[in-house]
Every structure is written in structure tokens, then in C-alpha cells.
Amino acid sequence: MKQLIHAFLAGLLLPVAALAAPARPNILFIMADDHAWQAVSAYGEGRHLIQTPNIDRLAHEGMRFDGCLVNNSLCGPARASILTGTYSHINGFYNNGNCRFDGAQTTFPKLLQAAGYTTAVIGKWHLETDPTGFDHWEILPGQGIYYNPVLIRQGQRVRHPGYVTDIITDLSLDWLKQRDTNKPFMLLCWQKAPHRPWEPALRDLDFDHDRTYPLPDSLFDDYAGRGEAEHNQNMTIANTMRLNEDSKLTVPPDLSPEQKKIWEAYYDPRNEAFLKKNLTGRALTEWKYNRFMHDYLGCIKSVDDNVGRLLKYLDDTGLASNTIVIYSSDQGFFLGEHGWFDKRWIFQESARTPLLVRWPGVTPAGSVNKDVVSSLDLPETFLETAGLPIPERMQGRSLLPVFHGTTPADWRTAFYYHYYEYPADHHVRPHYGVITSRYTLSHFYKPTVFEPEQKAIANIPDDYWELFDREKDAGEMRSVFGDPAYAAVQTKLMQEVFRQRVNLKEPAQDDPKAYGSPAR
């Protein structure tokens, strides 16, 4: 009889104990594609290009990270690293050209799903294979398109009328409303915008009222004081940016007749005025820069508006108090600095990415963190917040103590970076190095195996190093490698590079598939 009574009492007490235990937080991870930190107004830096009030809200109500870095500044590799918590040489996804993500490997969505979370990814995937570890997935094929896009829903292709940023948000909200509410959720809302070709929502075409944007100081950089890689890239606004598709002299093919009328009503008179001027040289580059800023920032306006929609849903449903909201980008982006657009480089505009985190009761409102952190740390963070062990395979570190404002004494002071893809698409030479709060050290090298381009590679100058002191040279305009005044710093950072290569298990020679396909 005693045993029956004890069993009965235990049955009564278990639900009470379960209710008393803190609920595992929901996770909403919003990620844009190519959203430069310079174009988030919460950072208060740069040229004050745009106001992003909804994204800024996360900074006001949570924590802004000023030193968040990526390990390989390219869309697919960055996403593979975020999913796995590993560098490219571990997860096998080096470039956007010939890599396919191995969905059998350990990812944080799989681990959260196995631990009782309901999981979903909606939006840009760009990893060539179907998502794994998700109860629901709805992704763009490849890069996707901005207007009337197709999304692949659990293997079925469905075309959606409208604008891609709105649609990804609509589908994310639909999933949140229909999810299993008995489980905590983890939703990856991964936007396409503001990726090239930077096509704004039609409602936002006149959002900046023909503003003339301030020019970056290095728009006409001559790359003096730096090496062969900077001189021989192919990613300048002046020479690489295409007038037709990039600068909107042609109409996108995916518009409906009604959408096309709105597009032409805005762009046609402005394009006619431009063509009459017959601009050349610096004047043409400045015009292309301003058109680029209009289109790129117009895309960001829509992203910000849709972040607002997601935050409102959390508020209206009472979910905000127990939901971690993360806003970030897969990497940074050049907005005319050094005359460039795109990413890829170890330099700050490229390797640094926005990271804003709101977790009520954990991240102090309005706080700013300047530690050297990384998007590589996010998987470990998600797992620890869910009370799960972190696999030894993962190479980042949980940000949970940092969220609490207590950065561990042994936190990293230097972060290792490695970019591979060459020569497509922008002829940025492979390089690796370390970034600290003050210095950037990089080693540019010849690809070791690349049969279709052996002749071209044979003509690349010998390997070389560059060192930048960003405290004195914020724009990374002049390498001080070899300067006697920096001898001690140079030696220390080179030792750090080699130490990290060993610790991260980086092979002495790159995988033959690391550089991608030259034919793209």
C-alpha cells in the first residue's frame, strides 16, 4: 500500500516540478545575405547610409557585438560553418562552385531536433543538397530570385507571387502559427536580400528620394602599399559591376506585366537621364556607386521592415519573453571601400558581420560587446542554451557567458580566417591569417592543385604576407609587414597563425576541390 501511495504522490509532483523548471528558450535566427555592418544604423559607424529601426530594436533591447567575424567570407561556406560549428576543411564546403553540403554530418538543428525542439528553415539555403535536421523546410533553389520566386517545400517546387523578402517572412509566420506548441521551436529565417543583383521591393523604389550618397574615402583606391592580390582582383565598381543587370539598365525577366510597369515608371526616366550624360571615368564610377547604394539599401529596408513583422508576432503572442532572437548576416560586404563590392577578403568590411542578440533577462538591454567572437560560435551557443552537450568536433565556443556579461578570462584574442575560392568569381587570391581587436595578418599563397588553371597559377607571384594596424590605419590601406617597428607584433601573430592551423587540424595542403570551378 505504501508503494502505491508514494507512486500516486510522485505522479502528482512530477507535473509541478516540470512546471517549476525553467523552459528551454525558443530560438529565432534571422540571417540576411551580404548585409554589411556599415548598413545597420545601430552600429553608428561609417557613412550613416540607412536607418534600420527594427534591427536596431534588438540592439536597444539586447546586445550588440562589434567584433563578430566569419571564418570564410562566402555565402555557402559561411552557412556550412554556422550549421556545423566547424571550419571549411572540416565540413568540406569550401566554395560556391563545386561543393555539396554533406547532410549526414552533425549539425545543431539535428541535435536540437533530437532533444525535443521543433525545427524549421525557411529562405535561402544555398548548399546544393536538401536540408536535414528540420521538421519543416522551404528553401530557395540556388540563389533564388527577388520577384515571384520559386521555393522548394519539402521537395516540391512552389511559385509564390510577390517579393522574396516578404514571402520568406510570410512563410516563417505561417510556420510559427502552425507549429507544435508543445515543443520549443528553432526557426532559421534566412533571407536572400540584400544579395546581388540588389533588386528592391517595388514599393520601396523611391525610398531614398534620389539621395546622393557620401562616397567612401577609398572608392578610388590605387592599392599602393599592398600586394599583388589587391591589384589583380576583379571586383571593382568601376570595372566589374555590370551596367545592365547590376545598375538596372535592363528589366528583370521575372516581373509580371503589372510589376514591370512600376519598375519602368521608376527606372526608365532616370536611366534615360544617365545615358544622355554619357559619363566616363570617375563620374561613371560615382554614378554606379550611387545606383548600387540605392538598390542595395532598398533591399535592406525591406529586410528591416520584415524583422519588425517577426518581432511584432513574438510580442503579440507572448513569445518574446522566452525567445532568443539573433540577427546577423552570412558575412560582411564592401560598400565601395577600396572601390569594391562583394566580400571574400580577410579585411574588416568582409570578414566582420553584424550580430545582434536579444534574450530577455539574459542579454542586458543596450549592451555592447567588443570581444573577438564569431558566427562559428552560434551552434555551440544554441546547444548550451538548450542544455545540450557540445560535440568535440565543433570548433567555436558558446557565447552564453558572454551573453551574461561575464566573458571568460581565457576567451580568444585572435581569430583564424581562411578563404579559398579562386579564380572564380572575382579573382580573389586564396589567403589565410588571423584577426585581433587591433591587427590583421594575412598570408596570400598559390593554390596547390588546380589543373585547369596551372598556367595562370604559375604566373602568380610568390607567396607574401600583409600586416595592418587598424588602430592607426582603420581602412587597412598600408601593410606594415616587414616594418622594424612591428617586428615583435609580426612574429607573435605569425606564431599565432601556425598555432591555430595546428589546433584547428588544418592540413598542410588544401583539398583539391577547395578552389572551385574556373568555368563558372
Q: Please report, as a single letter, which amino acid is at residue 46.
A: G
Backbone angles phi, psi at 44, to 5 degrees: 60, 25
- 37 — pLDDT class (breaks 50, 70, 90): very high
- The residues, any chain, with a CB within 8 Å of residue 431's CB and separated by 6 or more, are 229, 345, 346, 418, 419, 442, 443, 444, 445
Split at pLDDT 50, 70, 90, the class of 438 is very high
Per-residue model confidence (pLDDT) at position 459: 61
CB 179 within 8 A of CB 319: no
What pLDDT digit, counting tens, does each position of 500-512 carry? 999 999 999 999 8
Q: What is the pLDDT of residue 11?
A: 41
Residue 519 confidence (pLDDT) above 90: no
d(CA 201, CA 205): 7
Q: pLDDT band for position 113 (50/70/90)? A: very high
pLDDT > 70? residue 149: yes
pTM score, two decimals? 0.94
Mean pLDDT of 408-429: 95
- pLDDT at residue 451 in the model: 52
Give the pLDDT band (50/70/90) at residue 44.
confident
Q: How confident is the model at residue 22 (pLDDT cuts 50, 70, 90)?
A: low
pLDDT at residue number 13? 38
DSSP symbols for 203-228: GGTTTTTTPPPPPPTTTT---TTS-H
Contact 423, 405 (CB under 8 A): no
Residue 363 has pLDDT above 70, yes or no: yes
d(CA 500, CA 490): 15
Question: Where do the domains of the chain lie?
Answer: 24-201+287-503, 206-216+224-286
Helix (H, G, I), strand (E, B) or coil at 322: helix
d(CA 285, CA 239): 9
pLDDT, tens only, 80-95: 999 999 999 999 999 9
Our measurement of the distance from residue 211's CA atom to the centroid of its chain's CA atoms, rounded to an integer in Å, reads: 27
pLDDT band at 23 (very low <50, low <70, confident <90, very high): confident
Say if residue 18's pLDDT is above 70: no
pLDDT of res. 251 = 98
Q: What is the pLDDT of residues 162-204, one digit of tens each?
A: 999 999 999 999 999 999 999 999 999 999 999 999 999 999 9
Query: In angstroms, rounded to a whole number, what is the distance separating the alpha carbons of residues 205 and 255?
Result: 14
Q: Which of 352, 317, 367 is nearest to 476 (CA)?
A: 352
User: What is the spatial distance between Cα 418 and Cα 435, in angstroms, rounded to a whole number?
Assistant: 11
- 406/425 Cα distance (integer angstroms): 42
Query: What is the grid cell recorded at 371?
Result: 570581444
Rounded distance, CA 449 to CA 45, Å? 41
Residue showing cell 567555436: 396
Higher pLDDT, 9 or 352: 352
Ramachandran area for residue 6 (φ above 0: left; ψ -120 to 50: alpha; else beta): alpha
| pLDDT single digits (tens) 280-339 | 999 999 999 999 999 999 999 999 999 999 999 999 999 999 999 999 999 999 999 999
Give the residue from 146, 123, 139, 271 showing the smallest Cα distance to 201: 146
User: Distance (Å, rounded) from C-alpha 279 to C-alpha 34?
Assistant: 29
pLDDT grade for 397, boundaries at 50, 70 and 90 = very high
* Lowest mean per-residue pLDDT among 9-18, 95-104, 337-346: 9-18
Please identify which residue in the block is written with the cell numbers 544604423. 41
CATH number 3.40.720.10 is the correct assignment for the domain at 24-201+287-503: yes
Could you identify the residue written with the cell 512563410? 171
Contact between 304 and 312 under an 8 Å Cβ cutoff? The reply is no
Mean pLDDT of the chain: 93
The secondary structure of 358-422 as a DSSP string is E-TTTSPTTEEE-S-EEGGGHHHHHHHHTT-PPPTT--S---HHHHTT---TT--SEEEEEE---
Q: Is the pLDDT of residue 15 over 90?
A: no
The model's confidence at residue 6, banded by pLDDT at 50, 70 and 90, is very low
pLDDT at 447: 83
Q: What pLDDT does residue 137 have?
A: 98
72 close to 81: Cβ distance less than 8 angstroms: yes
pLDDT at position 47: 76
pLDDT in tens, 448-470: 765 555 555 556 667 999 999 99
Instruction: Identify which of 17, 62, 38 has the alpha carbon closest to the alpha carbon of residue 332.
Output: 38
Give the pLDDT of residue 371. Answer: 98
